[in-house]
């Protein structure tokens, strides 16, 4: 992909809901205002507030939202409403590996966009090459108002090209590792294993997050990763 072009105030950002239905309306509105207060133009994609059961509208509606945002030449970034579930269904509809016959624009037909989100958005972020995006595993519009100031500042430092302070933590392995960072929701990433949507994890550092999962379920997922050999080329795990 081409060299990264960072965002700057005045850029147009489109709001999409590729996963779960919007429920946290107050936080969502606050999240939109945070981006606007930073000087960005924020456009709500038609259908973002649809609901079909637990999904933000039908698969076709959510595919259209993402495809429209990707193909809009004036759009510089894509802001995801919330997580939940549903983004993997978009990849299935888009026929990864057969983009010419899908509803998505082909990777070489549009300029790269920033795509920002986490949780269920993992499925889209992990297919960044096919979607032609610069991905940020960062706050959703419904969670941005809940972030501490340092976290929100770090998001804007990242997308606007300012240096980031190193993340600190206590290691267990007593060693050093270097590699491309692949953040992910553990549950979503686990369900991409063995599918056409699993990226090449050779030489990467995985950074897993998840919430509301019992320890035995986390244990079960990590055991599956080991048994599937998915950690074989991984250099580190956070």
pLDDT of residue 77: 98
Question: Are residue 148 and residue 37 in the same domain, yes or no?
Answer: yes
Handedness of CA 113, 118, 122, 123 (dihedral sign): negative
Strands 236-237 and 41-44: unpaired
More confident residue, 141 or 110: 141
- The reply to whether 43 and 91 lie within a common domain is yes
Q: How many Cβ atoms are within 10 Å of 31's Cβ, its own excluded?
A: 25
Run of H or E including 90? helix 87-94
Same domain for 63 and 20: yes
CATH number of the CATH domain containing 213: 3.50.30.60
pTM of the entire structure? 0.93
103 close to 63: Cβ distance less than 8 angstroms = yes
What are the tens digits of pLDDT across the range 148-163?
999 999 999 999 999 9
Number of neighbouring beta carbons within 10 Å of residue 172:
7
Residues 34 and 146 in one domain: yes
Is 6 within a domain?
no
What per-residue confidence (pLDDT) applies to 68?
Answer: 93
> With contact defined as beta carbons under 8 Å apart, do 125 and 63 qualify?
no
Q: Spell out the alpha helix ranges (H) of the chain.
A: 25-37, 59-71, 87-94, 122-125, 128-131, 149-159, 186-190, 215-227
């Amino acid at each position: 992909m081409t060299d990264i072009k960072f965002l700057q105030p005045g850029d147009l950002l489109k709001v999409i809901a590729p996963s779960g239905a919007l429920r946290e309306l107050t936080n969502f509105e606050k999240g939109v205002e945070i981006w606007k207060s930073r000087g960005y133009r924020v456009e709500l994609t038609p259908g973002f507030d649809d609901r079909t059961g637990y999904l933000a509208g039908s698969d076709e509606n959510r595919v259209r939202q993402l495809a429209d945002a990707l193909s809009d030449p004036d759009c510089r970034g894509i802001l995801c409403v919330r997580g939940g579930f549903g983004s993997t269904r978009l990849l299935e509809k888009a026929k990864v590996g057969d983009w010419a016959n899908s509803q998505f624009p082909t990777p070489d037909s549009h300029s790269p966009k920033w795509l920002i989100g986490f949780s269920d958005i993992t499925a889209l972020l992990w297919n960044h090459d096919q979607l032609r995006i610069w991905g940020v595993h960062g706050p959703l519009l419904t969670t941005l108002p809940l972030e501490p100031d340092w976290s929100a500042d770090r998001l804007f430092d990242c997308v606007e090209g300012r240096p980031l302070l190193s993340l600190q933590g206590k290691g267990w392995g007593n060693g050093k590792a270097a590699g491309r960072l692949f953040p992910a929701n553990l549950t979503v990433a686990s369900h991409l294993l063995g599918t056409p949507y699993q990226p090449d994890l050779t030489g990467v550092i995985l950074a897993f997050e998840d919430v509301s999962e019992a320890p035995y379920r986390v244990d079960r997922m990590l055991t599956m990763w080991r048994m599937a050999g998915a950690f074989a080329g991984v250099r580190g795990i956070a």
